[in-house]
Amino acid sequence: MAAVAIGAAGRSAPGGPTPGGGAAASGLAAASAAAAPAAGCTDRAALGIEVQGTTLCASIDDPAHSIRTELLRDWIDRSGRIVAAYYARFPAPLVVLRIRVEPGTGVRGGRTTNDSGLMIQVSVGADSTAGDLAADWVLVHEMVHLALPEIGRRHNWLAEGLAVYVEGIARAQFGNRDVADAWAEYRRSMPLGLPRAGEGGMDESPSWGRTYWGGALFCLQVDVAIREQTHNQAGLQTALRAILKETGGYRAERGIDDVLRIGDAATGTRVLQELYQANRAAPVTPDLTQLWQRLGVPEDPKSQPFDDHAPLAAIRIAITRQP
């Protein structure tokens, strides 16, 4: 079964319409893709894209041929390579992509499920330019979901938080997103993840803010703490690569304690397990102002310089540096 994004099956993107709202994916017309289907693509008309040994099998619902297949191919290929670079390999051997072309521009309504094989569904505006697709975060977010096992709806904040956090970092590492832009979004949006009055721990608070940005804030705290404890030799990325390698990602079902233990073993710390225990059942409000100061992240990273003399500046720089 799929993990659950706020009341519906599957993992979805934070900016999408109602999370989990538009699941219907049957009856898609396949694209008239020029290329032959790649090995493992059972849909003969699908567009097969190979990324580091993985087949991304894209069925494109665009009966009017309103968007060029080449644009979609480049976007899927780039998104796959961004995620493969972060994890040192693409997180699944075969993924079906169902792409629905709709009026307008940009990418919307991402959703990843593991009911019978891995599937990502997403809508693309027919008038999207190459620039629109290069700036897209939705498909990277969905592909990041492939790297974490099914851990159950109670812990959906970890699945979504990882997708939100890793999307920004992975794209910055790849050169697909300005480093300042990624930090600007974290600085602006992470306060949305702080517990509100009356809310409980992370496992008890399925609100949008706690799930997406509370989860992302957990990931940032973990990343910084691992790097502090390992003299910046390991980070969350080290843990996530190990979790993927050992579990196989979203095709597998694992307990959260197992997953965190695997991640901690890879970094030689107990950061994931300890931070989870601290946040699991009690609302925790970290001092974000102090965290940004220690990392040297200014109030508006897009117009103000980073502070490279801040105590954790080296950690901030390492997080977005290409490994």
Contact set with Zn ion (CB under 5 A)? 11-12, 160, 163
Burial of 33 (0-12, 13-18, 19+ CB in 10 A): buried
- Least distance in Å: CB of 98 to Zn ion? 16
- Least distance in Å: CB of 68 to Zn ion? 27
Distance CA 103, CA 252 (A): 36
Distance CA 319, CA 322 (A): 8
Q: Which two tokens stand for residue 140?
A: 């990277």
- Least distance in Å: CB of 13 to Zn ion? 5
Distance CA 264, CA 272 (A): 6
Residue (111 or 254) nearer to Zn ion, CB: 111
Residue (218 or 292) nearer to Zn ion, CB: 218
Residue (31 or 119) nearer to Zn ion, CB: 119
Q: What is the CA radius of gyration of the chain?
A: 19
Half-sphere exposure at residue 141, Cβ-oriented, CA atoms within 13 angstroms: 24
Burial of 291 (0-12, 13-18, 19+ CB in 10 A): middle
Identity at 203, one-letter amino acid code: D
- Least distance in Å: CB of 12 to Zn ion? 5
- Least distance in Å: CB of 179 to Zn ion? 23
Residue (12 or 267) nearer to Zn ion, CB: 12
Residue (215 or 296) nearer to Zn ion, CB: 215
- Least distance in Å: CB of 306 to Zn ion? 28
What angle (nearest 5°) sits at the alpha carbon of residue 171, between those of residues 203 and 305? 95
Distance CA 236, CA 267 (A): 8
Residue (160 or 264) nearer to Zn ion, CB: 160
Burial of 99 (0-12, 13-18, 19+ CB in 10 A): buried
Asked if 12 and 3 touch (Cβ cutoff 8 Å), the reply is no
- Least distance in Å: CB of 297 to Zn ion? 24
Residue (11 or 187) nearer to Zn ion, CB: 11
